[in-house]
Structure 1
Amino acid sequence: MIGLATARERWSSFLGCFVAVALGVAVVTTSALVLLSDGTKVPERLAGAPVLVRSPAGTQAGGIFVENPPWAPERAEELRRRLAGLPGVAAAVTDRSFYAQAADTEQREGERQGHPWSTAALAEYGLSEGGPPATGSEIVVDRSLGFTPGDPLTVLTARGPQRFSVSGTMDGPGYYVTDRRAAELAGGARTIGLLLEPGTDTGRVAAAARSAVGGDGTVLTGASRGALAPQQDETTRWIGGQVLTAMAVLSSFVTVFVVSSTFAFAVAQRRREFGLLRTIGATPRQLKRLVYGEALAVGAAGAAAGALLGVVLAPTMTGVLIDAGFQPAGFEVRLRWWVPVAAFASGVTVALVGVGAASRRASRVKPLEAMREAVVDSRPMTRRRRVAGLAATAVGAVCSVGTAFAGADAIVLLALGTAMSLTVGLTLLAPALVGPVVGALTRPLARRPGATAVLVRESMITAVRRTSATVAPVLATVAFAVLITSTVETVRSADTARQAAAVRAESAVVPSGTPGLSDAAVARAGGTPLLSTTVYGGDGAAALTAAGVSSGFEQVYAVPAPRGGTVVVTEAVAAAHGWRKGRDAPLTLEDGRTRRLRVTAVVDDSMPYQVLLPHDLVREHDPSALADVAYRTTRAPAHLPAGLHADQVSVAAYADSDDAEEDRLVWIFTLMLVVVSAGYTAIAVASTLLTATAGRVRDVRVLRLSGATSRQVLLALAAETCCVVALGAALGLATAAPALFGTVHGLRQELGLPVRLSLAWPWLTGVVTGLLLLATAATVLPARRALGRLRRA
């Protein structure tokens, strides 16, 4: 009861804790609701089949989702016949897909697929107008494209633009051609759909199908058919899950930091109060319970508000994630009652954990010590804090040295370790550093005429706890913002330079408005194409990125090109599968056939693909493969008609745009983390200054009685706040600098290229400016209200 009463009486001191807990619980609630929602739906073109059988799953790498290995053609046909003979099955249809896109029509990724007409029976939609394709030159398309039966239509395929006549339209996505034409354009089969006779029990047929396919497939029914959603959706969901998880973890961690720092400063401000309670008989245990009671009251109120806010904001956050590309289109969040309950409990727990150190400090207050304490902070540092701060700073220094000499894989981790260690170390040492640093930096103020400059300087030096409590969160946020944004930009620039330096070509022909280059575009460009495909190797059918290359590849990459029945693999792939030069490597290709290819070379892992195959071999087994790029070694410009959807750019421009979508997602992810950390810092700074200003009413009164005007008082307080924020920003830059310069030096040594440091100045300026404005408002507004009360008194 006492804790609740004091929390209500000192609400301004605990406002920052309340807001931090509320926001942390809101983020956790929203993140958990989105993560636990199964956003994958059954694809429309397969939803008409109650039972679906998919090929066995291969080995998936974290964050990289690819299609399952296809069945061999003979095995796919055998399974189809076996499934078609099951009781209650009206038909078993093998599904295949190939790249198809209407020329000059903007479409989403999932709609760029063509299928044999027989698979239209698996869709939950049907013909809306016209009839099925009867010849190889006829096609059925989505009605939303705006075509009607009889219209001519140019469709982009892997071979090049193909002329069709629209025979009919459907109420769903996709392009449907005759089965014979689709067999020429499509790769292997991965799905077989079962159409049931009326009144047939789906569960009985599914059980029979499982017995029929054994280990050669997975039977899906009901909602589990959502596993056949486009793999791009799974990749998008995985990326979104990483973003939400990082935000939830960061919010929980920073909430503990805000609660801990706010209560620590509040306890320091209330030492006389605690000393008075000790003199009237309060025990250390009772003081500890008092502080915990305050934290429980604030944490429960903040957690309740945050849980409710998280439930309300979950649908809105889902829309934001979809727009940003972190969730697939059509994703819907599902509310679960226990998620906000668990988030509420976690919020209360975080508040109690954060107040642990402050409660111990309160319990150690002695009656006479508190009553004798002066206004000046004479001993702001404890021995334990000093040792921990020096140890963390030493670790950061060691990591900084290591960053300059580490390999590319360890540079980012060491840079992060450097910044984190230095941030923790300087935050812990802030009370000891503030006095000397402020004294040295503000020495010119002592020689300036007028009392305001001297007052600002002396106030910062004497009130070490207040100054360090404001400096610490600003330092941490600036260091984090500078390190993360600048490291991402520097590494991206270095990677672009590395890719451009590795290619010996005059220009690059790249796709424009399509996923890749067709054979027609490559032939017109006259360059060396990289025909992208996926192969599967090893007992676990591990998916490997592969490219079909021609003899010109040797000139472009200075790597021997495979010929005939040979293959070139990277060192990591060779080590993982036990492949060596001169040995055979069994690889399953896109049509489901397995070939044993002789390894003629093992190359560095810096290659853009894990496996290099002869161009003709890839085209033979993957009729729908597209080239990512075609490099040209001649200076003469290529003549590329608009219908081929290809552009010629410089090698550097292609290297910069190669991973444009991935870079965009990384930047959004990075900026979201910076915004979250800056938001919590704003809460910590505002809370500290509100508490400090509320406790400086006596200082304000003394200044007014000494002859200072209200304007001079407010100017002094505002100037002090600006100096403190500027000091925190400077220390934050100093903290991030060793990690950044070490990263640049390490990348230069690793790549042998002139890597430059890239600083995200707009974001740094925005963060510091926002903190400065908020801190000034949190200081001036309460002080102005206190001055108003003094005038009325």
Structure 2
Amino acid sequence: MLSVALGTLRTRRAVFAGSFVALALGVALLTVMGLALASSASAPERGPGRSAAPVVVLGQDTLRVPTPSGERTARLAHPRPIPAATVARLRKLGPVVADRSATGVHRLGIDADPAAVREVVGDGARVLTGAARRLAGPGPERDREALTAMNALFGTAGGVTAFVSVFVVASTFAFAVERRRREFALLRTAGATPGQIRRTVLAEALAVGVLASATGCALGARAAPPLAAEMTRQGLAPAWFTIGHHVWPYHAAFWTGLSVALCGAAAASWRAGRTAPAEALREASADRRPITRGRLLCGAALLLTAAVTLALSLAADPGDLLHRKTYVSRPMLLITAAALLSPLCLRPLVGLLTRLPGLRAPLVRENTAAGVRRTAALAAPVLVTVALAGSLLGTTATLNRAKAAEARERTTAAFVVTAPDGAGFDEAALRRLRAVPGTVVSPSSSTAVHVLEDGVALVRSEARAAAPGALAATTRLPLAAGRVEDLDDDAIVVNEEWRRHRVGERVRVWLGDGTPRTLRIAAVMTTGTGDNGVYVTPRNAPGAAADRVDVTLTAGADPRAVAGALRAAAGDGRVLTREAWLRATAPGTDRTTRLGLLLVLGIALLYTGISVANTTAMDRSGRVRDLAVLRLAGATPGQVLRLTGAEALTVVAAGALLGLLVTGVNLAGLWAALALQSAPPVLAVPWQALGTTAAACALLAVTCATVPTAVTLRRGAVDLAGLRE
């Protein structure tokens, strides 16, 4: 059987070309992802940068909380300054350069013995020497964020690649087996057993998998360094990032690719083994059954799984559906189910499309109905691509619109004054702003609080500090319980995401500078999209400077006069109207996430082209006689080409409609989650992206269908009629 399999690969190269290309590209991307992950995990130590002094002392910037499971740490929003007494003692050890802020000294460049410095500092600050001096600058935090975003990008792309490549390979082998039923039947007539037929198909998959995986590893090795350099130039990776020499990514990518090939061929091999010898006598080309029993059961199981898991998430934790890991991975279940069950829907859907006024095409309808397996093989990748585009882009657009609606509902101020970047308003500026007639002014500062949940998890919540009276006058918080006016120096406003969120209950928290406090819950906000945060008073935000001032107008105040007075009082600050501030701070998809989504959709579109081209190539020989009959019946080459193009467009339209239906179901689940979270239940369908994706799929399908047909039609009708498969 191995010799038969190798012979089949030689004589049917076009049949397996699509699977080879799909696997090779998938393995290449997995190799690149693995090399990037391995290189980021074992990044080389950076130099100290601008910290040329042998010793650097930093103010305490890490919160450390002991728990039964060990110490938990977190970065402080407002690092504590180095105590003045410690600074004075350090100056006696050697030359000192101090970085000073409004709250005190936060960093010293000290030319002294490290041991002596540690003895003076004790536990009140951090002492950095050698390569660790790089931690004194802002670079490490930015590098860590860049690496995290890069890993998420490659992880998402790799997951989608594996998903789509399995789908394409499985579809390719399934369609190839269907088109080779007579070939397998002849082998059965010659004495081949079902087991030998199955082993032949698996041997073909093994050969394709080995060659494609090896090719993919080689492509990945060449593509990884230029890609890392481009990501560095674009600012998506740290400037020092390079691809290192690692072995495990090649092993992981190679064996994953081989497993994908074998898994994709497993179901097809089982179906091939069930071919009866009598199939060799069958001449009819119409499909007997639109869908196999195994495909029906798998599709139904996945559909049920998608429905049950969605219902459980909505009932138990609807907020989980708003997280990126969830809304990227969860649609895969429904998309796969729809692709598997698509043959059940395509025949009536194509019939509907070809009966629409102005689009009546009975020949297209009959051709697609007779070859429903071919129609499903062409429509399924279109469905996957359109559904991915609609689900991913629609989810991010819906979340951004919901967050924007939340901000609009919360903000009642007529003007918002923001401090210059990286700075805050000093007391003199705040006094000038408060003195503007006809206004109620509410300064607030950005801070954070930490809470220990279940005794083991140290959770950080972004917070704002503001005086309760002014806050109530300029902001409409989405409260589920309590009153904003009850906020005081002994209280806190939390949201329903907190484990403990009952009004009047006391919770132990650590403030932005690490100070432990036990505060009373004055009010509880709804969860919303997760941006409602926490509110405390300025006394519970030590070290936080006011960076925003909300301004409302009193009765009879002139908005233009107030705006001019605010600009004069704000100095370098910006004075924006409510609408201008909402536009300036409108949430959007960050650059890395946007690039990741475009990469995912590009991969899906590429695989769509591979699948469509491969299906068309496999079906070409089987349709030669159909073309000959049309030509002998009097159809011109142009009419045959138009018919072929119309069939391709009809199938793409059917696949796009099914993809749109899947998109609608996925977005409906997100809409329900937003409603259960008390967030504005908005919905954003990315019509432009869906139209562009469908148009690209249509162009690919029409090109792949008409170009080979045009080449075939160069032969005469009589010659075509005499051709054999």
On whether the aligned pair clears a TM of 0.5, the verdict is yes
Is the 1:510–1:516 contact (alpha carbons within 8 Å) kept by the matching residues of 2? no
Corresponding position of 1:435: 347
Corresponding position of 2:31: 29
Corresponding position of 2:525: 604
Name which of 36, 43, 50 aligns with 1:45. Answer: 50
Name which of 522, 536, 545 aligns with 2:462. Answer: 545
Which moved further from structure 2: 398-407 or 290-299? 398-407
Corresponding position of 1:555: 473
Corresponding position of 2:686: 760
2:701 partner letter: A
Q: Percent of aligned pairs with the same residue? A: 33
Distance 1:649 1:655 in 2: 9
Are the structure 2 counterparts of residues 219 and 262 from structure 1 closer, same or farther at C-alpha, using a change threshold of 3 Å?
A: farther
Corresponding position of 1:267: 177
Q: Give deviations 1:382-435, integer Å, cap 9, x for gaps.
A: 234334434544555677888999985255589889855543333222223322
**1:426 and 2:431 matched:** no
Matched ranges for 1:674-713 at <5 A:
674-713=601-640
Is the 1:416–1:739 contact (alpha carbons within 8 Å) kept by the matching residues of 2? no
Corresponding position of 1:490: 398
Distance 1:580 1:445 in 2: 63
Are the structure 2 counterparts of residues 272 and 184 from structure 1 closer, same or farther at C-alpha, using a change threshold of 3 Å?
A: closer
Deviation at 1:774, TM superposition (A): 0.8
Distance 2:151 2:345 in 1: 40
Distance 1:17 1:681 in 2: 12
Distance 1:408 1:76 in 2: 51
**1:614 and 2:619 matched:** no
Is the 1:438–1:460 contact (alpha carbons within 8 Å) kept by the matching residues of 2? yes
Distance 1:219 1:2 in 2: 71
Distance 1:483 1:631 in 2: 37
1:262 partner letter: T
Name which of 335, 356, 364 aligns with 1:456. Answer: 364
State the SS of the aligned residue for 1:476: helix
Distance 2:661 2:512 in 1: 53
Distance 1:50 1:283 in 2: 78
Distance 1:444 1:533 in 2: 60
Is the 2:353–2:650 contact (alpha carbons within 8 Å) kept by the matching residues of 1? no
Corresponding position of 1:379: 289
Which moved further from structure 2: 659-668 or 305-314? 659-668
Corresponding position of 2:696: 770
Matched ranges for 1:128-527 at <5 A:
179=98, 182-185=99-102, 189=106, 229-322=139-232, 326-372=236-282, 374-393=284-303, 409=319, 412=322, 420-443=332-355, 453-511=361-419, 514-515=421-422, 517-519=424-426, 522-526=430-434, 527=441
Distance 2:488 2:64 in 1: 28
Distance 1:315 1:267 in 2: 40
State the SS of the aligned residue for 2:714: helix
Which moved further from structure 2: 40-49 or 696-705? 40-49
Are the structure 2 counterparts of residues 343 and 393 from structure 1 closer, same or farther at C-alpha, using a change threshold of 3 Å?
A: closer
Are the structure 2 counterparts of residues 349 and 331 from structure 1 closer, same or farther at C-alpha, using a change threshold of 3 Å?
A: same
Is the 2:150–2:592 contact (alpha carbons within 8 Å) kept by the matching residues of 1? no
Distance 2:297 2:238 in 1: 49
Is the 2:400–2:589 contact (alpha carbons within 8 Å) kept by the matching residues of 1? no
1:294 partner letter: E
Distance 1:637 1:54 in 2: 40
Distance 1:568 1:737 in 2: 40
Are the structure 2 counterparts of residues 775 and 542 from structure 1 closer, same or farther at C-alpha, using a change threshold of 3 Å?
A: closer
Is the 1:52–1:219 contact (alpha carbons within 8 Å) kept by the matching residues of 2? yes
Distance 1:380 1:652 in 2: 56
Are the structure 2 counterparts of residues 434 and 600 from structure 1 closer, same or farther at C-alpha, using a change threshold of 3 Å?
A: closer
Deviation at 1:196, TM superposition (A): 7.2
Q: Give deviations 1:324-351, integer Å, cap 9, x for gaps.
A: 6542344333342443343223222222
2:689 partner letter: W
Corresponding position of 2:723: none
Distance 1:399 1:573 in 2: 21
Distance 1:47 1:789 in 2: 79
Corresponding position of 1:77: 86
Corresponding position of 1:146: none
State the SS of the aligned residue for 1:632: strand
Structure 1 portions without partners, runs of 5+:
94-117, 120-178, 198-204
Distance 1:582 1:292 in 2: 64
Distance 1:323 1:65 in 2: 31
Q: Give deviations 1:59-107, integer Å, cap 9, x for gaps.
A: 79xxx984588567459939996xx99xxxx86x9xxxxxxxxxxxxxx
Corresponding position of 1:122: none
Deviation at 1:35, TM superposition (A): 1.8
Deviation at 1:499, TM superposition (A): 1.8
Deviation at 1:311, TM superposition (A): 2.2
Deviation at 1:463, TM superposition (A): 0.5
State the SS of the aligned residue for 1:530: strand
Distance 1:426 1:310 in 2: 32
Distance 1:223 1:783 in 2: 66
Are the structure 2 counterparts of residues 466 and 317 from structure 1 closer, same or farther at C-alpha, using a change threshold of 3 Å?
A: same
1:77 partner letter: T
Distance 2:449 2:84 in 1: 18
Deviation at 1:471, TM superposition (A): 1.2
Q: Give deviations 1:513-570, integer Å, cap 9, x for gaps.
A: x245433665555432221134556598764433331341122235536887434141
Is the 2:319–2:673 contact (alpha carbons within 8 Å) kept by the matching residues of 1? no
Corresponding position of 2:658: 731
Distance 1:417 1:251 in 2: 12
State the SS of the aligned residue for 2:261: helix
Corresponding position of 1:630: 549
Distance 2:364 2:295 in 1: 27
1:243 partner letter: L
Which moved further from structure 2: 580-589 or 352-361? 580-589
Is the 2:511–2:540 contact (alpha carbons within 8 Å) kept by the matching residues of 1? no
Deviation at 1:657, TM superposition (A): 4.0
Is the 2:444–2:548 contact (alpha carbons within 8 Å) kept by the matching residues of 1? yes
State the SS of the aligned residue for 2:146: helix
1:488 partner letter: T
Distance 1:259 1:342 in 2: 19
Which moved further from structure 2: 547-556 or 600-609? 600-609
Distance 1:400 1:595 in 2: 39
Are the structure 2 counterparts of residues 75 and 306 from structure 1 closer, same or farther at C-alpha, using a change threshold of 3 Å?
A: farther
State the SS of the aligned residue for 2:291: coil
1:441 partner letter: L
2:416 partner letter: A
1:299 partner letter: G
Is the 1:537–1:586 contact (alpha carbons within 8 Å) kept by the matching residues of 2? yes
**1:672 and 2:599 matched:** yes
RMSD between aligned residues = 4.2
